[in-house]
Amino acid sequence: MSEQVRLGAAALRREQVTAVARGAATVALDEVAERELARARALVEAQADARPPAYGVSTGFGALAVRHIPAEQRSQLQRSLIRSHSAGAGAVVEREVVRAMLLLRLRTLVSGYSGVRPVTARSLAALLNAGITPVVHEHGSLGCSGDLAPLAAAALALIGEGEVFDRDGTRLPASEALAAAGIEPLTLAEKEGLSLINGTDGMLGMLVLAVEDLCALVDVADLTAAMSVEALLGTDRAFAQELQELRPHPGQAVSARRMRAALAGSQIMASHRGEDCTRVQDAYSLRCAPQVHGATRDTLDHAAAVADRELASVIDNPVVLADGRLQSCGNFHGAPVGYVLDFLAVAVADLASIAERRTDRLLDVSRSHGLPAFLAANPGVDSGHMIAQYTQAAVVSELKRLAVPASVDSVPSSAMQEDHVSMGWGAARKLRRAISGLTTVLAVELLTAARALDLRAPLLPAPGTGAVRDLLRTRVPGPGPDRHLAPEIAAAEELIASGAVLHAALPRERR
C-alpha cells in the first residue's frame, strides 16, 4: 500500500513532499482541513457584497484592482484569471516539480486562510491521486505574486481546459483525463482562481527537491574526494578530528569524518606513511576538501531551515483572517526562497570546481606521483581520460554561469503595481540544471579515481573506497585501451543518482 499524506493543521515535512512528487504517495484531507475550509469559505461569501470591495472577490487583479466586478460576472472573473495567466512558454516542466507545486498549493488551501470551497481542495487532491500532471511551461513566473503562470497552467486543468499528462505519461486534453478519472471540472467561485495561483509553491517545491538531491551529492563528493586522495598518494592526516575541532563548522566535521572513514584500512595509504615520505602537505583540492564540502553542507542546512519554515507558511493574497477580514499582504514574495536557491547554486559550482581540480591532478603525469599520463594504457596512442576532464571543465564553467544570482534581478510588471519581483522561479530552474551538472562532474571524478586506484595494484584501496570502485566495475571495465567514454560517464551518473554509490559505501562508513 502506498503512503498517504494527510493534510490539515500540521506543517508538511520535506520527505512528504518528495514522497508525493517522486513516489506513489497519495493525499487526503483530514477533519481539521475540511472544517477550516468550510469556515474560511463562509467568511469569503460574507464579504462578497461588502463595502468596501474585497480584492480578488469583488475586484479585478493587479493594476486592475480598482475595478469593481458585479456578482453575475465573478465566476467569469475567476475563469478569465486562470486563462489569461496561463501564459507560459518554453520547455515543459518536469512531472515531479508540478506534483510538488500542486501539493504545496493544496497545503495552503486547506489551512483556512484562503477561502476556497471544500470541493475545490478535494478536486486538487483527486488530480494528484489520479496521477494527472498539468502541462506547465518553464518560462512565465517572476516569483511575485508567486509563481503565477505555472500555477495558472495547473489550475487550468482543474476547470477542464489545457493539456495534461496522465499516469502513464501520455499527453492529452485535460477534459479527457478528468473524465477518465471521474473528476468533475470545477466552476470557480469568488476568490478561488486567485487562491489557486497566488503562491511560491513552484520555487519551494524545487527547493525541497534540490535539498534532497544535494544532501546525497555532497555525500558522494566526500567519497570521490577520498578516492582521489588515496589514488594520488595523499594523506588523511589533515582530516584528523583534532584539526577539524580548531574550526568548529559542523559540515566540515561531518565531511572530514566521512573521508577518514572511507580511507580507513587502505594499503595504498599505508604504503607511504613511513619516514621515507618527503611530502609535507597536499594540494588544496585534496587537503581542503572537508572545508569546501563542509561549507556546502552548512549552506544546505540553512536552505533546509528556510524550506521547513516555508512548509509551515500560508502563502496567499488576500488572506482570510479569523475575525472575517480579507487582508492584503506581501507573503507571496519569493525573496526568502530565491535567496537560498541562489546560495545553493554558488555552493554547487564550488563543489564541482574542487572535484574537477582533483581529476585534473590525477591525469597530469607531473603531479600524479607515478600514474601514467591521462591514465592511458599506452599514452600517445591512447588518450585515456584526457577528454573526460574536458567535459568536466565545460560543465564547471557552465555551473559558474549558473551561480550568478537570479534574485538580484527584478523586472517591474503589471503597470508598475508589481514593481519589485523575486525571480525565485528562475533561481530554482537554474539550480536544477546545476545539480545535473554536479552529478556529471562527480561521475567523471568517480571514473578517473577508480581507474587510478586500479593502477596502484597490487596495493589495495580501503574497504570503503574499494567497495565503490567494485560497484563501478559492475558497469564499467577497468583500465585498458581507449574505448567509448560517453556511456561510461552516463553509467557513473546513473550509479550516483540512483543512490547505489552511497549504498555501496554505507556499511563501511562511521556516520
Catalytic residues: 55
Region label for 155, one of left (φ > 0), alpha (ψ between -120 and 50) or beta (otherwise): alpha
Burial status of residue 408 (CB atoms within 10 A of its CB: 0-12, 13-18, 19 or more): exposed
Please say whether the beta carbons of 97 and 134 come within 8 A.
no
Residue partners of 159: CB distance under 8 A and separation at least 6: 79, 82, 185, 186, 187, 188
- Measured in degrees and rounded to the nearest 5, phi and psi for residue 145 equal -75, 85
- The SS3 of residue 172 is strand
Number of Cβ within a 10 Å radius of residue 46? 12
- The SS3 of residue 11 is coil
Point out which residues pair with 133 in neighbouring strands. 165
- The SS3 of residue 419 is coil
Element (H, E) at 320: strand 319-320
Residue partners of 275: CB distance under 8 A and separation at least 6: none
Number of Cβ within a 10 Å radius of residue 180? 13
Estimate the crossing angle of helix 148-158 against helix 201-231, to 10 degrees. 120
> What is the C-alpha to C-alpha distance for residues 149 and 98, in angstroms, rounded to an integer?
12
Amino acid identity at 128: L
Please give the C-alpha separations between residue 184 and each of 101, 120, 154, 157, 160, in angstroms, as whole numbers.
21, 10, 15, 11, 8
Q: State the alpha helices, DSSP H only, in 271-330.
A: 284-287, 289-311
Torsion of CA 100, 202, 439, 301, to 10 degrees: -90
> What is the C-alpha to C-alpha distance for residues 383 and 369, in angstroms, rounded to an integer?
18
